[in-house]
Amino acid sequence: MWILLVLLYGLLKGGREIVKKKSLEKNSVLEVLIVYTLLSFVFVLPGAKNAVEMDNFLFLLPIAFKSLIIFIAWILSFKAIKQMPVSLYGVIDLSRVVFASALGIIILHEEMTLTTIIGSLLVCVGVLLCERKKNLKDEKVSFKIVCFTMISCLFNAISGVMDKILTKHVTSNQLQFWYMLFLVIYYIIFIVVTREKIRFVNALKNYWIWILAIMFVIGDRALFIANSMPESRVTVMTLVKQSCCIVTILAGKFVFKEKKIAYKLACALIIIAGIFIAIL
């Protein structure tokens, strides 16, 4: 059951990358981020009553930290996806497998079975092939943008490990509510400090942002529920999440008419093979 929930998250995540790209055609990175976060928070407000019934409010501190690193990760990932092909972003984003697997072993003491090791190696090979210098040069992607994506991957991996730990003490509904509330607070502080002008009315008219918020809330709830299941493992969950790359690559071909799709698809198939081997 938890694998199916994570697969749902992965497919929705792939769809979100497409919707992000479309939403950024009409609004700035910050406008999309802030309005998308506000809408997502509104969608989880019905769970407020359950959220304030937490047994121990000390867990708000690690949740606030999780929100902070995601706040930074989102800014970096949105800037990256705006400036690179969505198909390439989808494959480079798979680098989080390496980070999450390492954190799962070091922090959660998860065991790496032979199939998980072989699967992880195949995923790494697929990612490295896609990130070849020549490939990045052909796509006209700067090293800075690749670094933005990699830092975002690291922060998302840290967040994933924190989810596994936190869902042992708080419900998926409580985690999602407080996590979103802290994100809203961080964006408000950011706007006040930077005095960034946000066209809220214009952004609210961008229906892609509404779709993005709905997909985010559903996907995250599925992921939090999967994390709360004792038998779920971060190392395997991270690999299953990477099913999103197939969605982004196909979207690159049919929606954005991007080039070198066959090469990226070959890299993705190596990665998907690794995922299937890992979950055997």
User: pLDDT value at position 76?
Assistant: 92
Rounded Cα distance between 54 and 130, Å, is 44
Q: Is the dihedral of CA 65, 70, 73, 79 positive or negative?
A: negative
Rounded Cα distance between 111 and 105, Å, is 7
Rounded Cα distance between 153 and 80, Å, is 12
Query: Looking at the whole model, is its pTM more than 0.75?
Result: yes
Burial pattern 43-75, b for ≥16 Cβ within 10 A else e, equals bbeebeeebeebeeeebeeebbebbebbbebbb
User: pLDDT value at position 135?
Assistant: 54
Torsion (CA) 69, 205, 39, 82 in degrees, nearest 10: -20
Angle separating helix axes 234-241 and 96-106, nearest 10 degrees: 170
Segment of 1-10, 13-22, 161-170, 177-186 carrying the highest mean pLDDT: 177-186
Structural domain total, the chain: 1
Share of the chain above pLDDT 90, in %: 31
pLDDT at 45 over 90: yes
Structural domain of 204: 2-278
Rounded Cα distance between 277 and 141, Å, is 31
User: pLDDT value at position 66?
Assistant: 96
Rounded Cα distance between 108 and 113, Å, is 15
Cα angle value 69/99/131 (rounded, 5°): 105
Please state, in angstroms and as integers, the Cα–Cα distance from residue 207 to each residue in 6, 39, 81, 238, following that order.
Answer: 26, 12, 19, 30
Condensed to tens digits (0 to 9), the pLDDT of residues 103-114 reads: 877 888 877 778
Condensed to tens digits (0 to 9), the pLDDT of residues 146-196 reads: 888 889 888 988 998 899 899 989 998 999 999 999 999 999 999 999 888
**Tokens representing residue 56 in the block:** 């121990």
Judged by DSSP in three states, 51 sits in: helix
Segment of 59-63, 128-132, 196-200, 256-260 carrying the highest mean pLDDT: 59-63
Confidence of residue 91 (pLDDT cuts 50, 70, 90): low
User: pLDDT value at position 126?
Assistant: 75
Please state, in angstroms and as integers, the Cα–Cα distance from residue 75 to each residue in 68, 72, 120, 132, 222, following that order.
Answer: 11, 5, 28, 25, 23
Condensed to tens digits (0 to 9), the pLDDT of residues 181-239 reads: 999 999 999 999 988 888 999 999 999 999 999 999 999 899 889 888 888 877 677 76
Q: What is the DSSP string of 199-211?
A: -HHHHHT-HHHHH
